[in-house]
Amino acid sequence: IVFAEIRGWLNENEKSPFWQNLGEKFFNLPFARADFISAVNGSQFISDLMPRFPVYLELLDQEAVDVVGKSHKDSIAARKLLEHEGFSYQGTVDIFDAGPVMECERANIASIKNARTASISSLISQQSDNEATLCIVSNRKLTDYRLILAKVSHSNGEEVSILEKDASVLGVSVGAQIQILELR
C-alpha cells in the first residue's frame, strides 16, 4: 500500500487546533517547529513521545475534533489529484495536524496501471503535432533515472520514435526501453 499524507486544516493564524489540543501537550513545541524537526531529522522523536495507543477524540476539544481528516485549503488540489489516481481516505490521520492519510494499493494507482514499456525504434529531429502524443517518459534506469514531458510518435504498440533532443536528455538511444504514460 502507498500512503500519502495531506496537510491538515489550519486556522486563519496558521495554527493547527489538533496540534494545540494534543501534540503541544507532549512536545511543548509550536506546530511549525515540530513539523520542521520531523521533516529534517525524521519522525522517531514522534514515536518516542506520542501515546502508543489510539487517541480518544472524546478527550479533545470540539475545535480539534472538527478538523480530524480535514484537508488544508492549499492541499485540496493535491487531494483531488490523489483521488483521481485511485487513492482514498480510510480514516487514518497524521499525528501532527490530523490531516487525512490517503492510501492506494500500488497496482491500483492509475499512473502505474496506465504506464507501459516501449522500445525506441528511431530518433527523429522533428515531429508534427498530429502524429505525436504528449507523454511522461522515463528512461527506466535505477541509477541516473530521468523523467521528462515529451511527445512520442507511435510506430506500433511496442515501438516508438522520440526526438533526438529528448533521447539525449533521457540518456537513451535506439533500442532502449522507456516507460511511457500518455497524458489525457
Residues 6+ apart with CB under 8 A from 107: 113
Q: Are 114 and 159 in contact (CB under 8 A)?
A: no
Q: Are 163 and 124 in contact (CB under 8 A)?
A: yes
- Per the annotation, the verdict on 84 as an active-site residue is no
- Give me the catalytic one of 21, 23, 27, 72: 72
Q: Are 103 and 2 in contact (CB under 8 A)?
A: yes
Supply 34's cell numbers.
Answer: 515540530
Q: Are 179 and 140 in contact (CB under 8 A)?
A: yes
The residues annotated with a catalytic role in the active site are: 72
